[in-house]
Amino acid sequence: MKNSIGTSVILTVFGESHGPAVGVVLDGLAPGLPVDEAYIAEQLARRRPAGPADTARVEPDRFQLVSGVYEGRTTGTPLTILIPNENVRSADYAAVQTVARPSHADYTAQAKYHGFQDPRGGGHFSGRVTAGIVAAGAICRQALAARGIRLGTHILRCAGVEDAPFTDVVSELDRIEAKRFPLILDLEEQVEAAVLAAKSEQDSVGGVIQTGISGLPAGLGEPWFDSLEGVLARAAFAVGGVKGIEFGDGFGLAALRGSQANDPFRMQDGRVVTSTNRNGGINGGITNGMPVVFNLAVKPTPSISRPQQTVDFVQGRDVELALTGRHDPAIIRRICPVVTALTAVVLCDQLALRFGTDYLATV
């Protein structure tokens, strides 16, 4: 499916950083869902650069609902969102078209597309494409919320600053949404300072982000290849910079014994729950009704202005690269709404597969 994900609800992304527009087609969504343009704009704003810790390229993200919406609601047919690129300075990139930024997609794009790729601003590999995902995800999030399913993503760790992990997802989601930097604890200044410190040294930082989902019914996902973990992981690795994913305590579980890692079941108000949630709400690939929690490793932005050793892949020779252009010293803040949005799309797909295409519509 390449640039598409999903089985019953299918998201397709398109666009290049410096082309006319980026966008998405979201196909298979239930009819009748509200399309709240203000909420979409709000979510796009959370992804937008906002201060010295982000890139200087600020796009207004004026989105257009091209299809699939009628009188403010989804029609059930493909919903297309177009977000024109307005603040484009391609000249910045002219010099680097054949010089590979280390650990960026420049060289691999060349190996795949033989020089026909649009090299300006990372082309189709640009984080710019995630604007469309956020817009689509906003619609999905509201549909999920109407079914009692809520989700969000916060910075768990960044440049030595450590946030608290989710313990009570719903209340913590409210805290996260209220802040400019999505954090459970009051660490915004510390994170911003750490990013600016790296920036001042012409460098960048990464971090770990954590997504929490509450309200999912038990029984979602499949054994084997469509495990919810596998499906969410495939989605997560679509986001540039993600190099690892773990569910629940993930790599931490690997160091435990079974008696420590197992989450005991118990009855609570007639429902089956677990006393701990080290497995992140998923057993055997299928939800158990507890919050689904996963962490993503986000590597530091590869585009840094420090001189770096690399190659000119057309001339086939070693060169030193001193990068100019507008880059994020960290994407850790901006990636959070992207992962939330993409996760929301995946959940809508899973629910539609399990309960039918009208499931989210019939609230």
**Interaction residues for a second copy, span 40-69 (CB under 8 A):** 64-68
CA-CA-CA-CA torsion sign (91, 130, 45, 176): negative
Site string for a second copy, 215-244 (x = CB under 8 A): --xxxxxxxxxxx-xxx-xxxxxx-x-xxx
Q: Does 269 bind a second copy (CB under 8 A)?
A: no
Nearest to 327 by CA among 56, 63, 60, 67: 56
45 vs 228 by CB, closer to a second copy: 228
The tokens for 172 are 């913590």
CB of 112 to a second copy, least distance (A): 4
Q: Which of 42, 180, 200, 251 binds a second copy (CB under 8 A)?
A: 251
Q: Does 97 bind a second copy (CB under 8 A)?
A: no
End-to-end Cα spacing for the chain = 31
Instruction: Please report, for residues 8, 212, 220, 243, 286, the alpha-carbon distance to residue 223 in angstroms, rounded to integers and kept in the order given.
Output: 18, 22, 10, 24, 7
CB of 180 to a second copy, least distance (A): 21
| Long-range contacts of 106-109, Cβ-Cβ distance < 8 Å, separation of 24 or more | 106/313, 107/311, 107/313
Applying CB under 8 A, the span of 43-51, 96-104, 139-147, 168-176 interacting with a second copy comes to 96-104
Q: Does 313 bind a second copy (CB under 8 A)?
A: yes
Q: Does 326 bind a second copy (CB under 8 A)?
A: no
Q: Let me know: does 196 contact 329? Beta carbons within 8 Å.
A: yes
Applying CB under 8 A, the span of 37-45, 51-59, 179-187, 245-253 interacting with a second copy comes to 245-253
177 vs 203 by CB, closer to a second copy: 203
What is the number of other CB atoms lying within 10 angstroms of the CB of residue 177? 16
Q: Does 113 bind a second copy (CB under 8 A)?
A: yes
CB of 123 to a second copy, least distance (A): 7
The Cα–Cα gap between 13 and 22 comes to 8
Do β-strands 79-84 and 21-27 pair in parallel, antiparallel, or remain unpaired? antiparallel
Q: Does 98 bind a second copy (CB under 8 A)?
A: no
Site for a second copy in 148-207 (CB under 8 A): 157, 198, 201, 203-207
CB of 77 to a second copy, least distance (A): 4
- Report the chain's C-alpha Rg in angstroms: 21
27 vs 172 by CB, closer to a second copy: 27
